[in-house]
Amino acid sequence: MKCRFCHNQKNLKIFTSINENIPMFICSNCGCHNQQNNTIFNYDDGNSYWSNYKDPDGNVKDISSKVEREFKIKNWYGDIPRYINSLKDIKVLDVGCGLGYLLSVLKTKFKFGIEPSSFACNYINENFKDIKIFNNNFENIVNINDNFDVIIAYHVIEHLSEPEKFIKLLKSKLKKGGVLIIGTPLIGTLLSNYFGKYYRLYNKSHEILFNLKSIDKLMRKNNFKVFKIEKPFFKTDYFNLKNIIRLFYKNKISPPYYGSIVTLYARNL
């Protein structure tokens, strides 16, 4: 076993998560939380992932429904749409764009997405004609004959066994002075430390979870300067009495709460 970020193999603290019983280890060097085994998680398995998604609380959702689209647009993306829509005539690439919900609310005429799921790509082609979609894995970003002003990777990096390789590939397609927007689950917070193995974001598709220090180090190592850090929560529907009450149940799966995820805006230097 070695950390997927810093490659440390020493003094690893091993535990099993309650959510999905995932064997994990904590890196003693950088503090990242890694799955013990490399998991090949298939997002291109027809429509089962998108229409029968089960969240950590056991709720089954049809992510491709109109209701879920409206919920995600309202509650998932924080200030990303507002920030990008304040920029003029820019080219935007969303890597791992899923069903295209984030791209669909952007006003620019130059919207591109790359996504491994053929179901998701077909959905985009049917519903969002202004998005140019590439049905491919992120490694194939090098074959896109464009450089971009903004690249988004929203909740992608935690699914990868080689996160730094991913950042380098994104950088190769980002213009000098362009902006990389990274969203990812967060550990090393009061919430994750308090709930420990009951933290909701340990699951079979998450290869690595970063703390804020390690994800910032990854950005700086690749010559990015983080200029904005956002932890979207208090303006969302997740901020409710039910989730606040759940904070008192330490031996149950943690609720979605402040500090569960982070979004970093970083300038390509």
- The reported pLDDT for the residue numbered 48 is 75
Per-residue pLDDT for the chain (269 aa), expressed as one digit of tens each? 899 999 999 999 999 999 999 999 999 999 999 999 866 666 555 667 888 888 899 899 999 999 999 999 999 999 999 999 999 999 999 999 999 999 999 999 999 999 999 999 999 999 999 999 999 988 889 889 899 999 999 999 999 999 999 999 999 999 999 999 999 999 999 999 999 999 999 999 999 999 999 999 999 999 999 999 999 999 999 999 999 999 999 999 999 999 999 999 999 99
pTM score of the predicted model:
0.95
* R_g of the chain computed on alpha carbons: 18
Cβ atoms of residues 1 and 208 within 8 Å = no
Task: Kindly give the pairing relationship between strand 148-154 and strand 224-230.
Answer: unpaired
Enter the tokens of residue 226: 């983080």
DSSP secondary structure letter of residue 23: E
Pairing state between β 174-185 and 91-95: unpaired
- Residue 131's pLDDT is 97
Tell me the C-alpha distance between 46 and 79, whole Å: 31
157 within 8 A of 182, measured Cβ to Cβ: yes
**Domains of the chain (ranges, CATH numbers):** 71-268 (3.40.50.150)
Structure tokens belonging to residue 236 = 């969302």
Contacts 24+ apart (CB under 8 A), 113-117: 114/138, 114/140, 114/141, 114/144, 116/43, 116/44, 117/43, 117/44, 117/49, 117/50
Pairing of strands 110-115, 91-95: parallel
Supply the pLDDT for residue 188: 95
Which residues, listed in sequence order, are joined to residue 9 by a DSSP beta bridge? none
Q: Name the strand (E) or helix (H) holding 88.
A: none
Which residues, in sequence order, are bridge partners of residue 54? 60
- pLDDT at position 44 is 58
